[in-house]
Amino acid sequence: MAVDWKCAPMKPAAEQVSATVADRGGAVVIAPVGAGKTTVARAAAEHLGGPSAWVTGTVSDRVVPFAALRRLVEVPEEGKTTTVLRAARESVPRGLLLVVDDAHLLDHLSATLVYQLAVSGAARLIVTVDPDEPAPDSVTALQLDNVLPRTELDAPRTDRAALRASARRFVESLPAPARTVLEFLAVCDPIPVADLAAVAGDDAVQAAMAAEVLDVGDDVARGAHPLYVDVVRAQLSDADLQSRRSALYALGSERPPRDVVDRLRIAVLALDSGHQQPVPDVVAAAADALRLGDLVLSERLGAAVLERNPDLDARLTLAQALAWQGRGREADDVLAAVDPSTLSDTELMAWALPRAANQFWMLSEPERATAFLQTTRKRVTSPAAQTTIDALSATFAMNAGRPGKAVEIAQQVLASPHADDTAVGWSAAAATLSCARMGRFDEVEALAQRAMQAQHPGLLRFTSGYGQTTALVMAGELDRAQELAQQLTDFAQMQQPGRAIGEILVADVLITRGQLAEAALLLRGAAKVLAPTGYSWGPLAWMLLSRTLGQLGEMAEAAKMLSRAESRHGLKSMLFAPELLLARAWTTVARRDIVGARSIVRDAARAAERGGQSAITLRAFHDAVRLGDIRAVDGIARLNIDCLFGQLALRHARALVAGDAAELRSVAADFADIGMMGAAADASAQAD
C-alpha cells in the first residue's frame, strides 16, 4: 500500500531552484511534508553539478550539537561556540553546493553554521523547510532576513492528518523486520549501517531497503522519509523506546568515541535509556555541551551527575548552564552547596569567580558579590589568583558606575606579570569602555586591542566594542562606528545574547544618526532577548528604547519602556544611570513638557559628571542644547573635551545663546556632514 503523497510538479520546480542558486548563490525550498521538497532539491543539485554534499535534519539529531553536519565539518575539541563555529565554517570546501534537507529539524549549532555559510557566501545552498513545523532561529532568519531567496512549491493542498494516516497504514503493512529497522531509527537517525545491522540484523536491513523505507549511502542508514520514522516513534511505548536506545548505547559504549559529537550522542543515549555512564565521561560531556552553547543539554548532563556524585566540575558546569539561561537563583543554590574550606586555590577560583559574577548580574546583588569577591581574595595565596580577582573587581566597579576606579584597578592588573588571559580580558575590556565614557579617547583603541589579544573575548568583546564605538561617535566617525557595531553583531550571528548586545551597539549609533525607527526596531528585539537575563545590557536596551520612542513622539510606549528600564536598573547598571535620566527626559519631551525635560537633562549631565563620565556629560549637555537650553553652554565649555563632536556641540550652544541663525545653519550643515541628522535638524529648526 503506497503513501498518498501530494507532490509538486518536479521539473519546473527543480529548474526554478537551480536557476535561483546559480543567480543568487542559494535558495530556501518551502513546502509542507509530502510535497516533494527532497526530490526537487535532489534534481536541482544534479542539474547544477559540481562538488556537493547532503545533510538532513532529524528529530533525534536535533538534541546533539553539530549532529547533522558532523560528516561535513571538523568540530574542534577545544574552544567556545564562536571559535568552534569559525573553525567549522573554514573546514567547509569553498564553493561547495550544500543541500540541507529538513532544515527545521537541525540542531541549533548546525542551523547557525548553515546561516553563516549563507551570509558569507562560502557555500552554495539549497535548504528545504516545512513551514508548518517550528524551526531554529537561524533557519527562520534565512527566510525572514532575505539571506536566501524563497521558493514555495506549488503542491496540491495536503491534509496532514490524512497523509499521516496513509503513512501509518503503509508502515503497518511492512514486514516485521523492516519495522524493527524503523524502530531503531526512531531513536537515532541516522545510524551507521554496521551498527544498524548489529542491533536489528542484516536481514532486517535488507528487508527495509527492499520495502524502500531505508536509504543507505556512505555506510550510513537513514529513514527514506521522516514521516515513516515519525509514525513508528508515535506507536512505540516509553519502554520500547528505552529498549532501543539501550541497545544502541551498549553498542556505542564498547568503542572510543570518534569525536565530540559522538561523545555527546552517546551521553544522550545513556540519559534516555537509563544507563549510567562513568562520572568522568558525563562531566566531560556536560562541559562539551556548555562550551558549544547547548545550555539545555549541559544542564541535563550536569544534573544527572550531581544526582550520583557531588563532583565539583559538574557542579560548576551546571551552575553556568543555569545562570546563562537566566536562572541565577538555581545556579547560586548549586554553588552554595560547596564548602570552600575544602578547596585548593585553583578549585576556589573556579568556584568563586562564577559565583560572584552570578550574584552581581543574574541575582542583582552587586554588594553581596563584591563582598564575597573580597573575602575570596583574602583566602587565595597565589598572585595570579589575586590578580584575576582584581580584574573581575574592575568589571564590577565599572558596572557600578565607578569608571575611574575601574581604570585604576585595570591598569594595575595589566601591569602585573601574574595576569593571565582571563585577567587581561576582563580588565582591558572594562578599561576600554570606562576610558571612552570618561573622554580619554586616545587610550581606547590600544586597550581594546589588548582585550582582543588575550583571546578571552566572549561577551567582553561587546564591552570593549562599545568603548570603541563611543569614541568613534565622539570623533564624528559615525560610519566607522556603525561598521564596527555591525561587525560585532554579524560575528555573533544568531547566537544569543551576543547578537542582541551587538544590536544595542548598532542602535546607539543609529540614534546619533537620527535613524530612530530603525534603532527602535533593533532595541525592541534586543530588550526582549535580554529581559530574562541579568546582564546590565538589558536595562540599557530599555533605556535607549524609551529615549528613542520619546524622540519619535510615542508618549505612551516611551513611558512603558521607561518603567521597565527603571524597574530593572540598579547598582549593576549604574554606569548607565545618565542614560536612564536621558530616557526620562525624552519621554517628558513626548508629553510636550520641554521645561521639565530640560531640567531632567541637566540632572543627567550632573550625574554623568559626578561619575567622571565626561563624554556622556557632553552628550547630555548637547541634548539640552537641542531642547533650547541656553544654560548648557557653560557646561560644554567647562568640559573642554577635544573631539569633533565636542567642537560642534560648543558651536551649537554658543550660536543658540547668541541667536545667530547663520551659525546655527552652518553647524547644522556640519552635523549633517558627519551623519548626525537629528542634531542637524534641531539646529536648523532653531535657526528659523
Report the distance separating Cα 267 and Cα 264, nearest Å. Answer: 5
C-alpha span between 213 and 225 (Å, rounded)? 7
Domain ranges of the chain: 10-158, 161-275
- String of b and e for 241-256 (b: at least 16 CB within 10 Å)? bbbbbbbbbebbbeee
Q: Are 378 and 348 in contact (CB under 8 A)?
A: no
CA separation for the pair 66, 106 (Å, rounded): 8
Residue 496 CA to its chain's centroid (Å): 2
Mean pLDDT of the chain: 92
Q: How many residues would you count in the chain?
A: 688
> What's the confidence (pLDDT) of residue 91?
84
Question: Taking residues 507-513, what's their average pLDDT?
Answer: 97
The percent of residues above 90 in pLDDT, for the chain, comes to 74
The DSSP secondary-structure symbol of 8 reads P
| Residue 156 pLDDT greater than 80, yes or no | no
Question: What's the whole-number mean pLDDT along residues 617-646?
Answer: 95
- For β-strands 214-217 and 191-192, DSSP reports them as unpaired
411 touches 390 (CB < 8 A): no
Is residue 1 predicted with pLDDT exceeding 70?
no
Q: Which residues of 452-461 are buried (b: 16+ CB within 10 A; e: fewer)?
A: bebebbeebb
Residue 458 has pLDDT above 70, yes or no: no
Is residue 23 exposed (0-12), middle (13-18) or buried (19+ Cβ within 10 Å)?
A: exposed
Q: Is 42 exposed, middle or buried (0-12, 13-18, 19+ CB in 10 A)?
A: middle
Flag whether pLDDT at 442 surpasses 90. Answer: yes
Q: What is the mean pLDDT of residues 52-67?
A: 91
Instruction: Give the mean model confidence (pLDDT) for residues 236-262.
Output: 93
> Which of the four pLDDT bands, split at 50, 70 and 90, describes residue 267?
very high
Structural contact between residues 369 and 357, judged by C-beta atoms closer than 8 angstroms: yes
463 and 429 Cβ atoms separated by less than 8 Å: yes
CB of 115 within 8 A of CB of 494? yes
Query: Which residue bears the cell 576600554?
Result: 432
Question: pLDDT value at position 84?
Answer: 80
pLDDT value at position 455? 65
608 falls in which pLDDT band (50, 70, 90)? Answer: very high
Q: Contact 323/335 with Cβ under 8 angstroms?
A: no
**DSSP three-state, residue 30:** strand
- Name the region of 109 (left: φ>0; alpha: ψ -120 to 50; beta: rest): alpha
User: Residue 378 corresponds to which cell in the numbers above?
Assistant: 583574602
Which secondary-structure segment (H or E) carries 124? strand 124-129
User: Is it true that the peptide bond before 9 is cis, omega within 30 degrees of 0?
Assistant: no
Asked if 601 and 627 count as a contact pair (C-beta separation under 8 A), the reply is yes
Residue 345 pLDDT more than 70? Answer: yes
Beta-carbon-side half-sphere exposure of residue 616 (alpha carbons within 13 Å): 29
Quote the percentage of the chain above a pLDDT of 70.
98
CB neighbours (10 Å) of residue 669? 12
pLDDT at site 7: 77
CA distance 122 to 124: 7
Q: Is the pLDDT of residue 100 over 60?
A: yes
- CATH T-level assignment (fold) for domain 10-158: Rossmann fold (3.40.50)
Strands (E), 154-282: 191-192, 214-217, 220-223
**C-alpha to C-alpha distance for 194 and 192, rounded to whole angstroms:** 5
The amino acid at 361: W
CB 372 within 8 Å of CB 356: yes
Question: What count of Cα atoms within 13 Å lies in the side-chain half-sphere of residue 282?
Answer: 26
Say if residues 549 and 522 touch (Cβ distance below 8 Å). Answer: no
In angstroms, the CA 271 to CA 174 distance is: 31
Residue 129, strand partner residues: 30
Assigned C-alpha cell, 4:
498518498
> How are beta strands 220-223 and 191-192 bridged, if at all?
antiparallel
Q: Which CATH architecture has domain 161-275?
A: Orthogonal Bundle (1.10)
What pLDDT, on a 0 to 100 scale, did the predictor assign at position 2? Answer: 65
Q: Which three cell numbers stand for residue 80?
A: 567556545
Average of pLDDT values for 618-642?
94
Assess whether the previous peptide bond of 497 is cis (omega < 30° from 0).
Answer: yes
Closest to 30 measured CA to CA, from 46, 16, 49 = 16
Does the predicted model carry a pTM greater than 0.85?
no
DSSP state of 382: -
Q: Is the pLDDT assigned to residue 231 strictly greater than 60?
A: yes
Alpha-helix runs per DSSP H in 475-573 = 478-492, 498-513, 516-530, 537-551, 555-568
Q: Which of 114-123, 419-428, 619-628, 636-645 has the highest average model confidence (pLDDT)?
A: 619-628
